[in-house]
Structure 1
Amino acid sequence: MSNAVTLPCLGIVSMARRPKRTAKTNQIPPPTSVGFGMSKRKEPLWQCVEGCGACCKLEKGPSFATPEEIFTDPADVELYRSMVGSDGWCVHLEKSTRKCSVYNERPYFCRVEADVFDKLYGISKKKFNVEACRSCTDTIKSVYGPYSKELGNYNSTVMSSSSS
């Protein structure tokens, strides 16, 4: 007597969802469509959105890493801490415009660049765009809220510049 359980539709459904193998290589081809459409999935392309400033909220709360958890150099921790104003925002943020007053001379850790993400978080250059977009999305949600105009503006900007 077998312990196997037979589910009549399960085999058909799983077979229908399995990608077809190519004849020459006997390998499964990469997915080329999303949902029922035939368009290729767009990868987000990270970019800074002017007038956001969410990353300048330096004290974000317990769900975010502390400077001591991010930096290995105590000088970086000290510099970061010196930038935190009494309201938790960076002292270099011009609040009326949400622009950085030291943008061209800002510390390396304020730069959203592949090398910085690799150094601080161990995120490879290959995964930079996806992780940078995810980081910005999480930060914007935390600072302004999940239904904020800032998040809508960010998503719109990033997706309109996506690669196909």
Structure 2
Amino acid sequence: MAHWQCIQGCGACCQLNPSDRPDLADYLTPDELAHYLSLVGEDGWCINYDHEQRRCKIYETRPDFCRVQPDTFSRMFGIDPAELDEFAIDCCEQQIAGVYGNQSAELDRFIATVDPDPET
């Protein structure tokens, strides 16, 4: 069974361009939305994303809306904790494909990480 996990050296979720996420106000509180928008750099990437290292500079203290955890996804999207892995994997696959492409090394690595034995 596939289990969601973040992969190092990806950062696709740090591409925050609001035009790619027109429904932000549907799942973020007004304060969270303001915080989210304050993190968007001129290039659409989070201002805390280190492009050279390909990692979040504030990972340990990142906002709740950046965390893939049951309580956050339940509150924001109404996802039952039992469905978190499937939902998060689908979200990540879409985001990685949108940022890096359907045939990218990042997407291949993510899929291999979350489902190392797809035959089971």
TM-score greater than 0.5 by the shorter chain:
yes
After the TM superposition, list the runs of 4 or more consecutive aligned residues in structure 1 that deviate by more than 3 angstroms. Answer: none
**2:87 match:** 131
Q: How many residue pairs end up in the alignment?
A: 119
Aligned counterparts, 1:1-164, within 5 A:
43-59=1-17, 61-62=19-20, 64-71=21-28, 73-160=29-116
Identical counterparts, % of pairs? 36
Letter in 2 for 1:111: R
Unmatched 5+ residue regions in structure 1? 1-42
Give the CA deviation at 1:67: 2.2
Give the CA deviation at 1:124: 0.4
Q: Deviations over 1:78-135 (max 9, x none)?
A: 0000000000000000000111111111100000111111010001001000001001
Aligned-residue Cα RMSD (Å) equals: 1.6
TM-score w.r.t. length of structure 2:
0.92
The answer to whether the Cα contact below 8 Å between 1:54 and 1:143 also exists between their aligned partners in 2 is: yes
TM-score w.r.t. length of structure 1:
0.68
Inter-partner Cα distance in structure 1 for 2:8 and 2:43: 21
SS of the residue aligned with 1:91? coil
Larger radius of gyration: 1
More displaced stretch, 81-90 vs 153-162: 153-162
SS of the residue aligned with 1:155? helix
